[in-house]
Amino acid sequence: MAEWVRIVLAVVIVSVLIGLFILSYILNKRTPEPEGCRKASEECIGCAITGCGRNPVNHPEQNSKEEGKK
């Protein structure tokens, strides 16, 4: 196979992979959050394990939104 064909093929494959990543990112952002998803965080308020990803300490943007509602 000619070298220029390999280069074009590599560029096409990388472009397709980048396009799939961007498409999946956009579709993920548009997907609404399921009901009951925030309930797990509400149960974690008194939890001492701050290394957990569900703990509200690890979500400062969510905490600021909840403080604004009070």
40, 27: one domain: no
10-43 per-position pLDDT tens digit: 999 999 999 999 999 999 999 988 776 666 556 6
22, 44: one domain: no
According to the model, what pLDDT value does residue 28 have?
Answer: 93
According to the model, what pLDDT value does residue 67 have?
Answer: 56
**What is the domain range of residue 12?**
1-31
Does residue 3 surpass a pLDDT of 70? Answer: yes
Q: Which of 60, 24, 27, 19 is nearest to 41 (CA)?
A: 60
pTM, 2 dp: 0.52
16, 40: one domain: no
2, 17: one domain: yes
50-62 per-position pLDDT tens digit: 777 767 777 676 6
The total number of structural domains in the chain stands at 2
40, 15: one domain: no
